[in-house]
Structure 1
Amino acid sequence: MKNLIILTGLSGAGKSTALGLLEDMGFYCIDNLPINLVETILPVISMNVDNIAFVLDARSESFERIDEILNNLKKKYASNLKVIFLTAKDAIIINRFAHTRRNHPLLKRVNSLEKAIQLEREILTKALEFSDIVIDTSNLNPHQLREKLVEMLGSVKKKFLVRILSFGFKYGVPLDIDFIFDVRFFPNPFYIKDLREKSGKDEKVKEFLYNTQGVKEYLEMIKNVVDFALKRYENEGRMELSIGIGCTGGQHRSVFFAEELASIYRQRYEVLLEHRDVK
């Protein structure tokens, strides 16, 4: 195990948003785990998982043991563990619950939302003392919270994955793609006898397309669009972008463009390249 994050804090302060981001970053996430099971389950999971995140909150039974549990974890996983505590002002939390129409998890113990929030603050006092990172989300929207967490957890951020798929339109458009670029308007090597049985990975096909007017310019345009999107995807905490390159049969032009893009982005990102329709 390389990284262990304990995520805790007030209900309505953004734990669900934070957990979603951690999952996007490659963490194995467990929500609302009973406190008493943490030390039992962790050694088992950590044998096969590098990055683990637990959400521990006040509704968990035996939460009064939180200081004991966190103290034990800090001794055992000192260099790998971060405890993140999310908080917010009472008025903000009340407003968030009003908009989501959800009940506070401790409302069944008291007779008002204000008292439930106060009770939760008292229960979480010990967890707050053990926290490495405290984030007040009162003035943060979900996007800003994700940005802040990405900044703070940059050292444990998994490498961004760029999926590139070449395909033929006549065999159907892939559905799980973020961007599709059409390259059918370039001359088709299929109609050149010496190139027909080859693919876009062949040097002769590459030479033909490199010398085709507009190919280099279009490749640069695609790169500019993808670069623009990548920056914003990363700011959102999203860790994957998929690109489809399509031609008629998925054997020559789309394969060539997909190969060129893959060689560009392998320098900075993890790249998964697939040629769906090459014979």
Structure 2
Amino acid sequence: MLHIDIHSFSYKKGGIPKDETGNGGGFTFDCRGILNPGRIEEYKSQTGNDIGVQEFLENETEMPKFLELVKGIISINIDNYLSRGFENLQINFGCTGGQHRSVYSAIKIAEFIHEKYPQGTEVSLHHDEQHHLNS
């Protein structure tokens, strides 16, 4: 079973999450190149889990293109790790505050992995700055 830890985090507050498995690897994607919904008044208090923020990111930014590229990159490793019997992979998404872009990205990539790899993977989703969203 490949256990995949996905984190959203803030570059300003906590920095890149440490890989607690001891493997010291995985991916860290910087979402700060995507237009920040937190700069728009109606989205400031929301997160990437809220519909308004999600629609903004999907329709007004390069986020869909960004995530398609991420899916391609991580799929190469997931396929390889599954074939080799590896047990851990960490995928991190960072943005300025760990509230909008990184949360959205982490959620969408977790959904992608659940759909593409229903067998052989277990996903844990961690929102390092938005603890109330952790499941």
Report the TM-score when normalising by structure 2. 0.84
Percent of residue pairs identical: 36
Q: Which has the larger Rg?
A: 1
Q: 2:3 aligns with which of 158, 161, 164?
A: 161
Partners of 1:270 and 1:173 in 2: CA distance: 22
Shift of 1:162: 1.6
Q: List 4+ stretches of structure 1 deviating above 4 A.
A: none
Aligned-residue RMSD, C-alpha: 1.4
**Residue in 2 that maps onto 1:255:** 103
Deviations 1:188-242 (A, max 9, x none): 1111111000110000000000013321111010000000011222233212211
The equivalent position to 2:55 in structure 1, one of 204, 207, 227, is 207
Instruction: Give SS of 2:44's match.
Output: coil
Distance 1:212 1:225 in 2: 24
Shift of 1:186: 0.9
Structure 1: runs of 5 or more not aligned = 1-158
Give matches, 1:208-227, under 5 Å: 208-227=56-75
Counterparts of 1:18-97 in structure 2 under 5 Å?
none
**What SS does the aligned partner of 1:194 have?**
helix
Specify the code of the residue in structure 2 equivalent to 1:190. G
- Higher relative contact order, chain-length normalized (CA < 8 Å, sep 6+): 2
Counterpart of 1:170 in structure 2 is 12
For residues 212 and 273 of structure 1, the distance between their equivalents in structure 2, rounded to whole angstroms, comes to 25
Distance change >3 Å, CA 228–CA 255, structure 1 → 2: same
1:84 alignment counterpart: none
Tell me the alpha carbon deviations over residues 133-177 of structure 1, each in whole angstroms, 9 at most, x when there is no partner: xxxxxxxxxxxxxxxxxxxxxxxxxx3222110000012221215
Q: TM-score with structure 1 length normalisation?
A: 0.42
3-state SS of paired residue (1:170): coil
User: Counterpart in 2 of 1:276?
Assistant: 128
* Separation in structure 1 between the aligned mates of residue 79 and residue 111 of structure 2, nearest angstrom: 19
Alignment deviations for residues 88-118 of structure 1 (CA, whole Å, 9 cap, x no partner): xxxxxxxxxxxxxxxxxxxxxxxxxxxxxxx
Determine if contact 2:35/2:61 at 8 Å carries over to the other structure. Answer: no
Q: Report the number of matched residues.
A: 121
For 1:160 and 1:173, the matched residues in 2 are separated by 22
